[in-house]
Amino acid sequence: MNNESPRIIVRRSGPLSGNVQVPGAKNSVLKLMAATLLAEGEFVLTNVPAIADVDTMSDLLVALGVKTKWLGPHELSLVNSGNISTEAPFENVDKIRASINVLGPLLTHYGQALINWPGGDDFGGRPIDLHISGLEKMGATIEQNLLNINAYAQELHGAEIELSFASVGATENILTAAIYAKGTTVIDNAAREPEIGDLCNMLVAMGAQIEGIGTSHLVIHGSKKGSLRGVRHAVINDRVQAATYIAAVAIAGGDVQVRGARPEHMEMVINKYTQMGVSIYPQRDGLRVTAPERLAAIDFATLPYPGIATDYKPLLVAMNSVASGVGIVTENLFPGRFRYIEELCKLGADIRIDGHHAVIKGVDHLIGTAVTAPDIRAGAALVVAGLAAHGETVIGEIHHIDRGYDDLVGRLSGLGADITRV
């Protein structure tokens, strides 16, 4: 019996050519799925990525009482009949960070939510104190212990909430909780990620009243409980997956059409790619990407949107590792998110960590060896790095990659990359 877990094997590849379709966004679809707890009826989500986290969120919603069914490869039906449990089982919650997004909808619609501490990628502490303080300002009583969070409120009320940090999760939970809160809720310093705009647009289609979509000042006028309805909604495309395919072309060379990439959602990272020498041309249905002879090193720092997202950082670090010159990277959001550096160094990268900075001295080429994917985005970056490594790069623990990437191996292979999954 073979107990060996799946691996991805990459060999030096390039130039890449052809076109690749960007799937729906992981960081949007999971929140849209959680929002189906706000209204009875059928929701149909299209452009749903085929990733493990969608299956996990689906399992969680089924455990809570929502019926889910695939209507096609990327089309998911979710039916909320109103017979909903307010207790989220540990085995579902523990697998993904986005499980915390059921808190706001359950609390505002059903008056109670019992949820274990969420799981997900491990790259440092990601507290939910801003979620809790915001909900408490709206009248919720929240009890916490080492195992779970127990929230309840007979009726939430509107409040003015200023976030000390533009937290995506806190913005989403306060936003969904405000849908049935009595009166008006204002969220200042709200996170502005495109995925939050996607959530707001679906909520408005459901019947919610939201002003300031796409800005840091969200105003939500509470609706009558039960007045929202099920809708059909297309998930926006995944800007991090788009950035991954651009990075693959940048590091391997070539000329590729990245179809479905939304440049308006990626301005800052496109600017950084361009500084490194990558040519990126807007097209009618995405971006055309061509690579330079060799990348140029850059400095950058992670910041909340519209700054460089921490999800882009492993890709830019991998690119810097084979660029000409020295680049300095500053991590301002998650202190533990340098854990993959050791894996890149196994491939021959010259990287030194100093606190929340990494100093990267570009090398001529990387050398293939066995490495381990510590989280979703770092795993993808190791795959991309393998495209520039002499010999064979074998990536283990690829279940992390499966959580956020829809057929990464197949899509890269379609561009001519020498990559297989075993």
| Pair of tokens at residue 318 | 């991998």
Per-residue three-class SS string for 168-225: HHHHHHHHHHHCCCECEEEEECCCCCHHHHHHHHHHHHHCCEEECCCCCEEEEECCCC
| 195: amino acid identity, one letter | E
Q: Which of 316, 303, 312, 305 is nearest to 275 (CA)?
A: 316
Question: Is 255 annotated as catalytic?
Answer: no
Q: Quickly list DSSP for 74-140.
A: TEEEEEE-S---SEE-HHHHTT-GGGGGGHHHHHHHHSEEEEEPP----SS----HHHHHHHHHTT-
Whether 55 and 99 have beta carbons less than 8 Å apart is answered as no
| Pair of tokens at residue 210 | 């939201």
Query: How far is residue 124's CA from residue 146's CA, in Å, rounded to a whole number?
Result: 18
| 411: amino acid identity, one letter | R
Q: Which helix (H) or strand (E) is 404 found in, with range?
A: helix 399-404
| Catalytic residue from among 53, 121, 198, 311 | 121
User: Any alpha helices (H) in 224-283, and if so which ranges?
Assistant: 239-252, 267-275
Query: What residues have CB less than 8 Å from 218, skipping those under 6 apart?
Result: 171, 175, 186, 187, 190, 200, 210, 211, 212
What DSSP designation does 289 have? Answer: E
Strand-strand pairing, 160-162 and 184-188: parallel
Query: How far is residue 156's CA from residue 178's CA, in Å, rounded to a whole number?
Result: 8
| Pair of tokens at residue 189 | 């310093």
Q: Which of 69, 58, 216 is nearest to 200 (CA)?
A: 216
| 258: amino acid identity, one letter | V
Is the four-CA dihedral 264, 269, 274, 279 of positive or negative sign?
A: negative
Q: Which of 215, 220, 160 is nearest to 190 (CA)?
A: 215
| Pair of tokens at residue 43 | 């929701």
Which residues are tagged catalytic?
Answer: 121
